[in-house]
């Protein structure tokens, strides 16, 4: 087996693993933040400290991208 052939296969394998991570997600809109990447949630929740569920900032579901990976 030619070693350059193995090197090419290796580079392709790495590229296939990395490229999808660089591309923005093209899946459906995030149903938690509605696609804007930020959340501002607050609703009564007895299990939370203070009796309220409060979460604001970057959406933890899509990491602020607004779209989910399909």
- Whichever of 11 and 40 has its CB closer to Zn ion, that residue is 40
Long-range Cβ contacts of 43-46 (<8 Å, 24+ apart): none
Tell me the three state secondary structure of residue 5: helix
Rounded to a whole number of angstroms, the minimum distance from the CB of residue 64 to Zn ion is 7
Q: What residue ranges bind Zn ion (CB under 5 A)?
A: 30, 32-33, 59, 61-62
- Whichever of 53 and 61 has its CB closer to Zn ion, that residue is 61
Residues 65, 25 contacting (CB under 8 angstroms): yes
- Whichever of 15 and 29 has its CB closer to Zn ion, that residue is 29
């Amino acid at each position: 087996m030619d070693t350059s052939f193995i090197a090419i296969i290796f580079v392709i394998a790495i590229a296939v693993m990395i490229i999808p991570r660089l591309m923005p997600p093209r899946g459906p809109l995030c149903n938690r933040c509605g696609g804007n990447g930020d959340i501002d949630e607050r609703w009564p929740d007895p299990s939370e400290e203070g009796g309220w569920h409060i979460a604001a900032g970057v959406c933890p579901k899509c990491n602020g991208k607004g779209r989910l990976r399909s």
